[in-house]
Amino acid sequence: MLMDFSNRHVVVTGGTGALGTALVGALLEHGATCHVPHRSEAAAKSFPYRGNPGVKLYPNVELTDEKHVADLFGAISPLWASIHVAGGFTADPLTKTAKVTLMQQLDTNLVSCFLCCRAAVNAITRGKDGGRIVNVAARPAIEWRQGAGMTAYAASKAGVAALTAALAEEVAKDGILVNAVAPSIMDTPANRAAMPKADHANWPKVENVARTILFLASPDNQAARGAIVPVYGKA
């Protein structure tokens, strides 16, 4: 089977969200065991893969907390891949963006990703086979002008992109391939509700973004590292 994850353990942060749920579904189809930390009990209750034998849920995990992250990754061995989907969005003009909002965006998008990358590298290097890390940036992370009106978000996701490329060089020698995807606005229920008049057909589907991540995280990816892959659909 292509992209065979049999007997492979994969962490998916943000795994109960829109993209995360599609990704967990794709990983399960390809034989992975998924470790899904979550913060919101409500999201975990409606998670369609709750009770699936291939899924282990970890409640009350705040990914900006070093101890929570260390405990999560310390409990998983051996770890093959870690996929960092968790993040959050805010859009305001710069003059209306308080420092607290900037710090929240940096925390949610960059700090959570940084801490999970660090813990994942430690966990993967405890094994002998190397592994994969995939981060989730966003279009304004690589096309900065697209970040007008959402500067705090764009800056925090640009940090994720830079972290990805720098870390990829740092850990390639350990057999760990680190990459990211940069989605444009995805077709999610939240985005449809927020933008009812937009052309939803042009938005990338979460299932398609998930399949791109699946390849980057799979053993079939033998060479790609440090890429920030645009996943824009027809947008």
Which of 31, 39, 205, 224 lies at the binding interface for ligand NAP (CB under 6 A)? 39
| Residue 82 in contact with ligand NAP, rule: CB under 6 A | no
> Which range in 72-80, 126-134, 184-192, 219-227 contacts ligand NAP by CB under 6 A?
184-192
97 vs 191 by CB, closer to ligand NAP: 191
Binders of ligand NAP in range 140-179 (CB under 6 A): none
Residue 46: which residues within 8 A CB-CB, separation 6 or more?
none
CA distance 163 to 117: 9
The answer to whether residue 231 forms part of the interface with ligand NAP (CB under 6 A) is no
43 binds ligand NAP (CB under 6 A): yes
For residue 216, the SS3 value is: helix
Q: Does 138 bind ligand NAP (CB under 6 A)?
A: yes
* Only segment of 47-55, 57-65, 74-82, 124-132 that touches ligand NAP (CB under 6 A): 57-65
Contact flag: residue 108 with ligand NAP (CB under 6 A):
yes
Q: Does 18 engage in binding with ligand NAP (CB under 6 A)?
A: yes
- Burial letters for 147-184: b for 16+ Cβ neighbours within 10 Å, e otherwise? beebbbbbbbbbbbbebbbebbeebeeeebbbbbbbbb
Tell the smallest beta-carbon distance from residue 94 to ligand NAP (Å): 19
CA 6 vs CA 2, 9, 49, 141, 228: distances in Å: 11, 9, 18, 33, 26
115 makes contact with ligand NAP (CB under 6 A): no
> In the set 4, 7, 29, 40, which binds ligand NAP (CB under 6 A)?
40
- Judged by DSSP in three states, 128 sits in coil
Instruction: Give the Cα separation of 171 and 159 in Å (integer).
Output: 18
14 Ramachandran zone, left/alpha/beta (phi>0; psi -120 to 50): left
CA 6 to centroid of chain Cα atoms: 21
Contact 26, 50 (CB under 8 A): no
Q: Please tell me whether residue 88 binds ligand NAP under the rule CB under 6 A.
A: yes
> Binding ligand NAP by CB under 6 A: which of 178, 186, 213, 229?
186
Of 85, 119, 124, 229, the one binding ligand NAP by CB under 6 A: 85
Our separate counts of H helices and E strands in the chain read: 9, 7
Under the rule (CB under 6 A), what is the footprint of ligand NAP? 14, 16-20, 39-40, 43, 61-64, 85-89, 108, 112, 136, 138, 183, 185-186, 188, 191
